[in-house]
Amino acid sequence: MIKNTGYILLILTVVLVLTMVISSCVGAVQISFSELISIIAYHTGLSEHQNFEAQQAAVFLNLRLPRVLLGVLIGAALGVSGAAIQGLFRNPLAEPGLIGISSGATLFAVIMIVLETKIFKELTGVIGFYALSLASFIGAGLTTMLVYRIAMRNGKTIITTLLLGGIAINALAGAFIGLLTYMATDAQLRNITFWSLGSLGGASWPTVTTLLPFVLIPVFGLPFLAKSLNALALGESQAMHMGVNVKVVKRIIIAMATMAVGASVAVAGMIAFIGLIIPHILRMTFTADHRLVVPGAALLGAALLTMADLIARTVVAPAELPIGILTAMIGAPVFIYIIITERNKNNP
């Protein structure tokens, strides 16, 4: 169990690399594995030979690679934040989407889009994108704190309150998004629709590079809090008895998790259920120990979202399925399954 954590993480890394390779090769323009190697070798200066067509290289470098990387980053962000938030709320059902964090982030992003023409007109390009990330980060942060306040009592999460609070926040955010949709222009409307469905279609090198820090900090930072998350699972006072500075740890977890959720919502809109399923799979297959679940969720989340995106962009080609629809179709039944197992466990 505990001793082979490194081994499991290695396997998950291999799985991730494999999905990245497959996803890079498959698409409207097919690239074989050897051609892929050749493209990479040629462009990194390792080889002089050009055993591929120019079009393949162009597609790979300008379209497919940024898209695959975006999938990896967002999948990792959603997986790791899901694991951290479930640990923080001490409940396997807490998920950024379900408890309203994602919709809080979406609301702030939509506010940004609609108000953009009036207030944020100067903030274009990369700065504009940062502004959007920042807005959804703030939205995610505020909702997390709100949900936390609603659901915690004497250091314990009241799970029904948490989920009902999530419903209420989702409804409220939905109403405001509806209002803003009503006010929006046609161009803004198209943008808003994109947010609410969730898609990696906006992938480009600038989006990847701007997203990078928002994902890397939580992905490499949160595993350091895995021990504290384990302790928190026993209860806040129990964690304090074990020497965990609960207040500080909670703040860092909330900041990092919302950073990841906010930034990924800003880039790809709402992609539901990844944060719920991924940690659950890891807990079911291996262990509930956050020292595996947190970094593992980043790796497996990245692999699964890359795979899901591959399906999303090939299954109805040349059109493209919004990935949020796909993850919800897979995720919702898994969610129902988890609810039923929890029910059977608690009321035998």
Partner 1 sequence: MIKVKALSYKAGGKKLLDNLSFDAGKGELLAILGANGAGKSTLMKLLCREIKPFSGKITINGKELDNYRLQDLAKTRAVLSQHNTISISFQVNELVLMGRYPHFQQKPTVGDFKIVQQVMEETGITHLASRDYNTLSGGEQQRVQLARVIAQIYDSPNACLFLDEPTNGLDLQYQQQIMVLARSLADRGYCVICILHDINFASRFADRIMMLKNGKKVAEGLPVEVINCENIHETFSIKVKLMECEGYTCPLVVPATILK
Distances (CA, A) of 40 to 65, 230, 307: 11, 41, 21
Pick 88 or 197: Cβ nearer partner 1: 88
Structure tokens given for 197: 């469905």
Rounded Cα gap, residues 215 and 76, in angstroms: 7
Pick 193 or 287: Cβ nearer partner 1: 287
Pick 96 or 262: Cβ nearer partner 1: 96
Minimum distance, C-beta of residue 167 to partner 1, in the bound complex (Å): 20
Minimum distance, C-beta of residue 156 to partner 1, in the bound complex (Å): 8
Minimum distance, C-beta of residue 331 to partner 1, in the bound complex (Å): 19
Give the footprint of partner 1 on this chain (CB under 8 A).
1-2, 86-87, 90-92, 156-157, 159, 224, 227, 230-231, 233-235, 237-238, 240-245, 283, 287-289, 291, 345
Rounded Cα gap, residues 11 and 6, in angstroms: 9
Helices and strands per DSSP (H, E), number in the chain: 15, 2
Exposed, middle or buried by CB within 10 Å (0-12, 13-18, 19+), for 247? exposed
Q: What share of the chain is helix, strand, coil (3-state, %, to 5)?
A: 75, 0, 20
Minimum distance, C-beta of residue 289 to partner 1, in the bound complex (Å): 5
Minimum distance, C-beta of residue 235 to partner 1, in the bound complex (Å): 7
Pick 9 or 305: Cβ nearer partner 1: 9
Pick 148 or 214: Cβ nearer partner 1: 148
Pick 34 or 341: Cβ nearer partner 1: 341
Rounded Cα gap, residues 317 and 240, in angstroms: 54
Closest CA to 200 of 208, 188, 192, 190: 208
Q: Which helix (H) or strand (E) holds 61?
A: none
Minimum distance, C-beta of residue 233 to partner 1, in the bound complex (Å): 5
Chain centroid offset of residue 103 CA? 13
